[in-house]
């Protein structure tokens, strides 16, 4: 899928696409969307669609923040009842992993978790299930959303001026996904190894 061609064909509507995908990934418990690589790619083609990359980053930050708030509300109201061991998407293990991540890192998990696929989607419900106060969650949710969007937006704006990067956006997007998924893979392998040894 040629991300840049799609974004360019959308023109200013690319902002709507970025906002929707980032919001859904962060708020509606659908973990398989490329939010970070999409923001990066959109910032690269910002000039071609006549949009300032800072506007893209700002829209992504608001969408990520709003998604986190919705995810927290879902976790507070429905909690673990949404998740099942045999579910296709809302697997219990995803919530458990996010809860462990939250337990280990506390408030900082809301910043770190924003950069890790799957954890990014389920960290807000995990925070709600862990009884993190709403005001504290909202503060850290906002900090993490701004930091995350600014980093990928600025990265796209800076590296987009490098011809090789501009010509290989899809490859870079796959690389971003691979790097962010790496901690999950390492953790899973470590658990499997410790289970085998035990």
Q: pLDDT tens for residues 11-59?
A: 889 999 999 999 998 888 776 777 888 898 899 888 888 899 999 999 9
Helix axes 92-105, 119-129, angle to 10 degrees: 70
- Residues 171 and 162: beta-carbon distance below 8 Å: no
Question: What residues are paired with 84 via a beta bridge?
Answer: 91
Lowest mean pLDDT among 75-84, 97-106, 137-146, 176-185: 176-185
Residue 95 is predicted with a pLDDT of 72
User: Which residues constitute the domain of residue 190?
Assistant: 3-197
For the beta carbon of residue 163, count every other beta carbon within 10 angstroms. Answer: 8
Number of structural domains in the chain: 1
The C-alpha atoms of residue 27 and residue 71 are separated, in whole angstroms, by 4
* Nearest Cα residue to 62 out of 16, 123, 30, 99: 16
**Alpha carbons within 13 A on the beta-carbon side of 52:** 4
The residue with greater pLDDT, 14 or 170, is 14
């Amino acid at each position: 899928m040629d991300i840049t061609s799609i974004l360019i064909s959308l023109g200013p509507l690319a902002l709507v696409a970025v906002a929707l995908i980032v919001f859904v990934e962060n708020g509606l418990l659908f973990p398989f969307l490329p939010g970070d690589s999409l923001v990066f790619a959109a910032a690269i083609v910002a000039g071609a669609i006549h949009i300032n990359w800072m506007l893209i980053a700002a829209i992504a930050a608001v969408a990520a923040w709003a998604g986190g708030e919705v995810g927290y509300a879902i976790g507070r109201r429905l909690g673990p009842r949404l998740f099942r061991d045999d579910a296709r998407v809302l697997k219990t293990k995803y919530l458990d992993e996010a809860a462990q991540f939250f337990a280990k890192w506390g408030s900082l998990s809301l910043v770190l978790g924003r950069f890790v696929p799957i954890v990014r989607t389920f960290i807000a419900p995990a925070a709600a299930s862990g009884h993190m106060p709403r005001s504290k969650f909202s503060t850290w949710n906002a900090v993490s959303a701004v930091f995350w969007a600014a980093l990928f937006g600025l990265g796209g704006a800076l590296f987009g001026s490098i011809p090789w990067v501009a010509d290989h956006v899809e490859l870079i997007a796959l690389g971003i996904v691979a790097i962010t998924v790496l901690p999950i893979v390492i953790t899973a392998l470590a658990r499997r190894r410790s289970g085998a040894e035990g």
